[in-house]
């Protein structure tokens, strides 16, 4: 008997012999101890097979256990021990892990690494949470559903399986539908995915009030021991709901009945490092594999999801009204080319609105989706700007640490008082960041209780939680920050929301920039007026005629969709095609240019470019290769090419052919991103 063993590394399964005494005990999903290179390693049994062969022919890769040549016959080693009495990983999860490895053109081993806490392989014990949810939770009140909510819930609960898009305006009660749908599952279990920044005490308390200690949590704030505890609680059948971020999609439930993706449009469901998977799409695959229901919820659905709902691939459920018929906030676009200004960041109109709002005892949110103090420092004598030595971007000045920081590689340096280039002393702060607009507001309205929420203020454990709690307890007059302030919060006392410099997001060289801008501003608007007092939203911009603002002002998702889908159709971008991005990384810029000339020639000889993307399923269009928009990250110079096609399998096949063709090219690291969500 042989067993294919999967290790949490960048490789496929390795084949081992099963000793006679273990044959009756070994099963897929069990942990085993096996010899690996010069030591031993814990892996998971992927499958077993009866064979008389004592050796295999293996096509080796860089992570292989043995250091032998390609297609070399090797003598199989034997498994040393089985570490579990019964399978630790359920069969349904093993299937999902294999699917993820194949679909994302990665390996099952890397998928396993993302799906199972590392401590499980290291034999670590679980630990009690440092982030505790043991404060008193108000018992859940019985809420009467609106007619729209009742209709949506009925459609979900009446079907045994299927995928639904729940399109509900902010404040329309989507979370209540999620909870009721889970309650209707009987003895089945549920996974609820939320974006990282939305996993606040608010949603945690909502679920704890209904499901008590049957809820477990997954998020980046958990220690390795806490992660194991949550994972094992699910594995033992002690939990009904797994509430968490990306990795919760792999929760080891055996009797799963429903998956919910809240804010399904969020970019944070995509992992950008290592295995570049999308938790939303993996959830859709898991629902299909297990034949269960899945709900994709959003006030601003992604263009792709809305398109599939219109085509009938997703059941479409709509909530057009807020709870208790509360009105949507009025949105005003402030033209900063004409408006009187109180400072670099604030118009007189916005400042007057904030003063009145605070005097009435209400709270406000202000968003600028750019952290730091200033996007760059410039010498006005010679034009010199500080750039990251590792990345081809300008460094952002952070006033609190007096450092210039790179937001891509996290390096930093101390700026000098004189220009390194011309020795001049006229160094100016150019542009706005959240630290700068916070400082300006402090100077303009010193009596304010003001807090900033961005990645710099929420790095410490529980810091995000404390800020949200202070907002709930009305200890903060104005909460200011990046997109974090726009997501997942329910503050009934917030009546004013504002965007300080709306133009930041509009002009990125990416086909999704308008969609993201529309979603972000609409989500921010939805934070205001959720209590008894109607809300108001003010968006400051230097481009008031941009078409996005017309649709934002009127909450016109349908109109925005029609405009955007036409542009996508003309350019044959998703949802009219699928994309795969291949990124080539080089240590040396000049050497990279030479290598890319050779790579480009190879690709063009083997795959002549079509004049346009054919209407059938098999055609693949290759764009590039060309330098990436951000040409250098972490000392690697980057080129990329984008494959565009209508059929996912054909596209992955073509990408695999290209990578195979280039396998002998030296001094290049190749990364593959299936279904990329940005092309920078």
Q: Could you write out the three-class secondary structure of 188-202?
A: CEEEEECCHHHCCHH
Rounded distance between C-alpha atoms, residue 348 and residue 352, angstroms: 6
Instruction: Say whether 325-371+443-567 and 147-315 share the same fold.
Output: yes
How confident is the model at residue 62, as a pLDDT? 39
Q: Are 18 and 26 in contact (CB under 8 A)?
A: yes
Tell me the three state secondary structure of residue 96: helix
What secondary structure does DSSP assign to 163-225, as a single string? EEEEEE-TTS-HHHHHHHHHHTTTT-EEEEE--GGG--HHHHHHHHHHHGGGEEEE-TTS-HH
Structure tokens at 62: 């860089």
- The percent of residues in the chain predicted with pLDDT above 90, rounded, is 72
Mean pLDDT confidence for 662-668: 90
Mean of the per-residue pLDDT values of the chain: 90
Beta-bridge partner residues of 553? none
Structure tokens at 614: 């054919």
Per CATH, the number for 147-315 is: 3.40.50.300
How confident is the model at residue 616, as a pLDDT? 47
How confident is the model at residue 280, as a pLDDT? 97
Rounded distance between C-alpha atoms, residue 121 and residue 101, angstroms: 19
Query: For the chain, what is the total number of helices (H) and then of strands (E)?
Result: 17, 29
> If we measure between CA atoms, which residue out of 191, 199, 154, 153 comes closest to residue 287?
191
Beta-bridge partner residues of 359? none
pLDDT surpasses 60 at 522: yes
Sequence-separated (6 or more) residues with CB below 8 Å from residue 614 = none
Name the band, by pLDDT with cuts 50, 70 and 90, for residue 275. very high
Mean pLDDT confidence for 25-53: 92
pLDDT surpasses 80 at 53: no
Mean pLDDT confidence for 637-664: 92
Topology given in CATH for the domain delimited by 2-122: GIY-YIG endonuclease (3.40.1440)
Lowest mean pLDDT among 85-99, 383-397, 425-439, 617-631: 617-631
How confident is the model at residue 220, as a pLDDT? 74
Name the band, by pLDDT with cuts 50, 70 and 90, for residue 679. confident
Q: Are 613 and 644 in contact (CB under 8 A)?
A: yes
How confident is the model at residue 124, as a pLDDT? 85
How confident is the model at residue 56, as a pLDDT? 62
> If we measure between CA atoms, which residue out of 294, 298, 300 comes closest to residue 313?
294
470: left (phi over 0), alpha (psi -120 to 50) or beta: alpha
pLDDT surpasses 80 at 608: no
Structure tokens at 308: 């599939």
Q: Could you write out the three-class secondary structure of 354-381?
A: HHHHHHCCCEEEEECCCCCCECEEEECC
How confident is the model at residue 66, as a pLDDT? 38
CA Rg value for the chain: 27
Structure tokens at 625: 């290769």
- The percent of residues in the chain predicted with pLDDT above 70, rounded, is 93
How confident is the model at residue 611, as a pLDDT? 44
Sequence-separated (6 or more) residues with CB below 8 Å from residue 268 = 195, 196, 197, 245, 246
pLDDT surpasses 50 at 584: yes
123 vs 453: which has the higher pLDDT: 453
How confident is the model at residue 205, as a pLDDT? 83
580: left (phi over 0), alpha (psi -120 to 50) or beta: beta
Name the band, by pLDDT with cuts 50, 70 and 90, for residue 554. very high
**Per-residue pLDDT tens for 157-179?**
998 889 999 999 998 999 999 99
The pair phi, psi for residue 164, each rounded to 5°, is: -130, 140
How confident is the model at residue 680, as a pLDDT? 83
Which residue in this structure is represented by tokens 């490092």?
Answer: 273
Stretch (H or E) spanning 582: strand 578-586
Stretch (H or E) spanning 452: strand 450-453
Stretch (H or E) spanning 274: none
Q: How far is CA 432 from the centre of its chain?
A: 25
Looking at the domain covering 325-371+443-567, what would its CATH class be?
alpha beta
Residue 358 neighbours by CB distance under 10 Å: 18
How confident is the model at residue 266, as a pLDDT? 93
Sequence-separated (6 or more) residues with CB below 8 Å from residue 438 = 450, 452, 480
Rounded distance between C-alpha atoms, residue 199 and residue 217, angstroms: 9
Q: Are 499 and 482 in contact (CB under 8 A)?
A: no
Sequence-separated (6 or more) residues with CB below 8 Å from residue 167 = 298, 299, 301, 306, 309, 316, 317, 318, 319, 557
Mean pLDDT confidence for 496-518: 88
**Per-residue pLDDT tens for 305-331?**
999 999 999 999 999 999 888 999 999
Tell me the three state secondary structure of residue 146: coil
**Per-residue pLDDT tens for 631-641?**
999 999 999 99
Domain ranges of the chain: 2-122, 147-315, 325-371+443-567, 375-430, 578-674
The reply to whether omega before 576 is within 30° of 0 (cis) is: no
User: Residue 603 half-sphere exposure, CB side, CA atoms within 13 Å?
Assistant: 28
- What 207-212 contacts at long range (C-beta under 8 Å, 24+ apart), as own/partner pairs, is 207/179, 207/241, 207/243, 208/133, 208/137, 209/137, 209/138, 209/139, 209/140, 210/140, 210/179, 210/183, 211/182, 211/240, 211/241
660 DSSP assignment: H
**Per-residue pLDDT tens for 346-371?**
999 999 999 999 999 999 999 999 98
**Per-residue pLDDT tens for 184-243?**
999 999 999 998 765 666 788 889 899 988 999 887 778 888 899 999 999 999 999 999
Structure tokens at 491: 């503050």
Structure tokens at 144: 């009467």
Structure tokens at 150: 């009742």
Tell me the three state secondary structure of residue 434: helix
Instruction: Tell me the torsion sign for CA atoms 454, 459, 464, 470.
Output: negative
pLDDT surpasses 60 at 68: no
Residue 197 neighbours by CB distance under 10 Å: 23
pLDDT surpasses 70 at 136: no
Rounded distance between C-alpha atoms, residue 453 and residue 228, angstroms: 29
How confident is the model at residue 14, as a pLDDT? 96
Pick the CATH number of 578-674 from 1.10.599.10, 3.20.20.60, 3.30.420.10, 3.30.70.600: 3.30.70.600
């Amino acid at each position: 008997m042989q067993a294919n063993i999967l290790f949490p590394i960048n490789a496929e399964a390795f084949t081992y012999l099963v000793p006679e005494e273990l044959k009756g005990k070994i099963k897929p999903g069990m942990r085993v101890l096996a010899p690996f290179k010069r030591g031993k390693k814990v892996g998971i049994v992927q499958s077993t097979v009866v064979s008389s062969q004592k050796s295999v022919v293996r096509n080796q890769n860089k992570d292989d256990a043995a250091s032998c040549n390609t297609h070399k016959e090797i003598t199989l080693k034997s498994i040393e021990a089985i570490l579990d009495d019964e399978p630790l990983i359920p069969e349904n999860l093993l299937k999902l892990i294999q699917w993820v490895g194949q679909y994302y053109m990665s390996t099952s081993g890397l998928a396993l690494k993302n799906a199972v806490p590392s401590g499980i392989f290291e034999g670590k014990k679980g630990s009690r949470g440092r982030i505790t949810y043991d404060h008193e939770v108000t018992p859940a009140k019985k809420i009467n559903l609106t007619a729209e909510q009742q209709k949506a819930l009925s459609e979900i609960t009446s079907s045994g399986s299927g995928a639904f898009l729940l399109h509900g305006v902010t404040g329309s009660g989507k979370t209540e539908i999620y909870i009721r749908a889970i309650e209707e599952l009987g003895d089945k279990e549920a996974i609820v995915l939320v974006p990282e920044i939305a996993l606040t005490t608010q949603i945690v308390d909502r679920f704890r009030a209904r499901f008590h200690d049957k809820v477990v949590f997954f998020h980046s704030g958990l220690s390795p021991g806490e992660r194991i505890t949550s994972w094992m609680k699910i594995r033992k059948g002690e939990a009904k709901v797994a509430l968490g971020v990306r990795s919760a999609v792999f929760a080891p439930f055996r009797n799963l009945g429903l998956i919910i993706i809240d804010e399904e449009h969020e970019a944070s469901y995509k992992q950008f490092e290592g295995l570049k998977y999308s938790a939303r799409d993996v959830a859709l695959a898991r629902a299909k594999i297990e034949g269960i229901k899945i709900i994709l919820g959003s006030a601003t659905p992604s263009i792709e999801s809305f398109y599939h709902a219109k085509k009938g691939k997703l059941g479409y459920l709509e909530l057009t009204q807020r709870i208790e018929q509360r009105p949507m906030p009025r949105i005003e676009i402030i033209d900063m080319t004409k408006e009187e200004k109180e400072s670099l960041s604030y118009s007189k109109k916005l400042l007057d609105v904030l003063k009145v709002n605070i005097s009435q005892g209400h709270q406000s949110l202000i968003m600028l989706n750019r952290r730091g103090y200033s996007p760059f420092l410039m010498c006005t004598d010679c034009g010199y700007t500080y750039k990251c030595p590792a990345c081809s971007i300008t460094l952002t000045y952070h006033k609190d640490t007096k450092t210039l920081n790179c937001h891509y590689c996290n390096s930093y340096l101390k700026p000098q008082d004189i220009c390194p280039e011309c020795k001049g002393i006229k160094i100016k702060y150019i542009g706005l960041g959240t630290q700068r607009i916070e400082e300006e507001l402090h100077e303009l309205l010193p009596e304010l209780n003001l807090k900033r929420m961005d990645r710099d203020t929420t790095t410490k454990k529980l810091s995000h939680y404390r800020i949200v709690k202070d907002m709930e307890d009305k200890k903060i007059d104005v909460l200011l920050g990046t997109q974090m302030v726009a997501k997942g919060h329910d503050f009934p006392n917030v009546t004013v929301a504002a965007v300080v410099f709306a133009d930041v997001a509009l002009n990125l060289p990416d086909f999704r920039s308008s969609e993201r801008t529309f979603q972000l501003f609409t989500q921010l608007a939805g934070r205001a007026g959720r209590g008894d007092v109607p809300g108001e939203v003010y968006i400051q911009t230097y481009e008031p005629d941009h078409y996005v603002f017309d649709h934002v002002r009127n909450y016109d998702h349908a109109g925005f969709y029609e405009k955007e889908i036409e542009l996508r159709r003309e350019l044959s971008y998703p949802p009219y095609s699928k994309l795969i991005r291949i990124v080539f990384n080089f240590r040396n810029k000049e050497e990279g240019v030479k290598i890319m000339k050779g790579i480009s020639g190879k690709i063009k000889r083997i795959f002549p470019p079509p004049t346009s993307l054919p209407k059938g399923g098999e055609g693949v269009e290759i764009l590039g290769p060309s330098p990436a928009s951000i040409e250098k990250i972490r000392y690697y110079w980057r080129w990329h090419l984008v494959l565009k096609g209508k059929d996912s399998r054909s596209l992955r096949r073509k990408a695999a052919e290209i990578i195979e063709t280039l396998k002998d090219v030296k001094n290049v690291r190749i990364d593959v991103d299936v279904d990329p969500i940005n092309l920078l």
